[in-house]
């Protein structure tokens, strides 16, 4: 069923109602068979080298989230998608909560190495996350079109660049305006790369002419921004303590003269605007497809995106109220109430530069 908003509490804060027009997701039936293999893969690259880092990833419930992101993925496809999601969470934590995200030189070196793994002939991967990314990349791009590979590379690179840019902000104590932050959040959410993988999950390959339509690009970005703002709402309490410059709620609270509760409502209004703009762009896309004289197959592949992308979005809507990664985040972030030079215990073991 769809949800015309939902209200709950998180970290003692009342969560505002959000407009959600998409149907609730069903789990991928291959989830259970995939879970054990994902942990074996994580262990093979030593991505959670300490008990605390492993428990932190367990709280995230990656196999379940991936099964909601990609409910139609075939049993032989779901593992690489789930591994990619686990990898992305681990890398995100290293930058958001760990030392690499507070040292521009480290962040730049890490992003440069990760970006290099997206090349046809990559430089040798030294860090564990880079080796893991190369393994994912090699399997994900097999039998995919050049256009899709370029899109996935671009989406991944933009997300990595956003992590480096956040590190630069922290180094120079730069605080983006809400307008600037919202533009960046579309890429910092990482959602464009998950949209790309949603295409892979159902075996579609969007024709380059249709992918290049401005209406298609705008639809992806509006939905990515919605997901980013929704995440900010659930992580407001944590980010208020740890990284207030990179959360829309915290920025509005700091600059808008509003209480934290009022700031949550203001950001939910922004998110609702994003959702309505996405729906408008989706309708505009269908009209734009008519003008391209695309084949029935090409059009069907492109229109499948308006099923698969919303499934990712709806999954994000559901998981943030149900997983321990997002619910009552401050309960497990006591160790992260730290000085700028320290790190919570699950990122104390550095994965880059080793």
Structural domains of the chain, ranges and CATH numbers in brackets = 62-330 (1.10.600.10)
Model confidence at 238, pLDDT cuts 50, 70, 90, reads: confident
Four-point Cα dihedral 300, 306, 311, 312, nearest 10 = 110
pLDDT at 213 over 70: yes
Q: Which residue has the higher pLDDT, 242 or 338?
A: 242
pLDDT at 173 over 80: yes
The tokens 């609730």 sit on which residue?
24
| Across 313-322, average pLDDT | 91
Pair 78, 70: CB distance under 8 Å? yes
pLDDT tens readout for residues 185-208: 999 999 999 999 999 999 999 999
Distances (CA, A) of 155 to 97, 161, 311, 320: 22, 10, 18, 23
Distances (CA, A) of 259 to 13, 254, 353: 12, 9, 41
The pLDDT, as a whole number, for residue 269 is: 98
Taking Cα atoms as reference points, which of 110, 72, 74 lies closest to residue 93?
110
Residue 217's contacts (CB-CB under 8 Å, 6 or more residues apart) are 211
Pair 191, 317: CB distance under 8 Å? no
For the chain, what is the mean pLDDT?
A: 91
CA 156-188-209 angle, to 5 degrees, is 50
pLDDT tens readout for residues 15-67: 899 999 999 989 999 999 999 999 999 999 999 998 888 988 998 999 999 99
The pLDDT, as a whole number, for residue 340 is: 43
Model confidence at 259, pLDDT cuts 50, 70, 90, reads: very high
| Across 116-140, average pLDDT | 92
Which pTM was predicted? 0.93
Taking Cα atoms as reference points, which of 83, 91, 88 lies closest to residue 39?
83
pLDDT at 307 over 60: yes
Model confidence at 7, pLDDT cuts 50, 70, 90, reads: low
The pLDDT, as a whole number, for residue 333 is: 60
What is the C-alpha separation between 21 and 85, in angstroms, rounded? Answer: 25
Tokens of 17: 């109602």
pLDDT tens readout for residues 321-353: 788 777 766 655 655 554 344 456 666 667 887
**Can you list the alpha helix ranges (DSSP code H) found in the chain?**
31-44, 51-60, 62-69, 78-97, 104-116, 128-140, 146-172, 178-188, 191-202, 208-211, 214-234, 236-242, 248-255, 260-292, 296-319, 329-332
């Amino acid at each position: 069923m769809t949800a015309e908003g939902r209200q709950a509490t998180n970290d003692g804060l009342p969560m505002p109602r959000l407009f959600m027009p998409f149907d609730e997701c069903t789990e991928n039936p291959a989830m259970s068979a995939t879970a054990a293999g994902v942990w074996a893969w994580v262990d093979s690259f030593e991505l959670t080298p300490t008990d605390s880092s492993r428990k932190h990833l367990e709280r995230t419930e990656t196999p379940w989230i991936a099964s909601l992101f990609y409910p139609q993925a075939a049993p032989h496809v779901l593992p690489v998608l789930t591994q990619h999601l686990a990898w992305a969470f681990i890398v995100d934590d290293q930058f958001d909560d760990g030392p690499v995200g507070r040292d521009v030189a480290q962040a730049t070196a890490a992003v440069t190495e990760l970006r290099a793994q997206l090349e046809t002939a990559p430089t040798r991967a030294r860090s564990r996350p880079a080796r893991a990314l190369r393994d994912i990349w090699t399997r994900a791009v097999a039998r995919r079109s050049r256009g899709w590979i370029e899109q996935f590379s671009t989406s991944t690179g933009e997300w990595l660049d956003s992590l480096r840019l956040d590190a630069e902000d922290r180094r120079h104590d730069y605080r983006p305006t809400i307008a600037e932050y919202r533009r960046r959040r579309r890429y910092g959410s990482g959602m464009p790369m998950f949209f790309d993988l949603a295409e892979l999950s159902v075996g579609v390959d969007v024709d380059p002419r249709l992918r290049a339509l401005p209406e298609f690009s705008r639809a992806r970005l509006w939905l990515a921004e919605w997901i980013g703002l929704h995440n900010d709402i659930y992580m407001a309490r944590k980010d208020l303590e740890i990284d207030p410059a990179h959360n829309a709620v915290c920025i509005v609270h700091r600059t808008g003269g509003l209480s934290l509760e009022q700031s949550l409502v203001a950001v939910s209004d922004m998110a609702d605007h994003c959702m309505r703009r996405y729906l408008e762009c989706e309708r505009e896309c269908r009209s734009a497809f008519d003008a391209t004289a695309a084949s029935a197959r090409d059009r069907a592949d492109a229109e499948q995106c308006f099923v698969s992308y919303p499934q990712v979005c709806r999954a994000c809507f559901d998981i943030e109220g149900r997983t321990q990664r997002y619910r009552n985040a401050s309960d497990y972030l006591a160790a992260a109430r730290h000085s700028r030079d320290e790190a919570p215990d699950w990122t104390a073991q550095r994965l880059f530069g080793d």
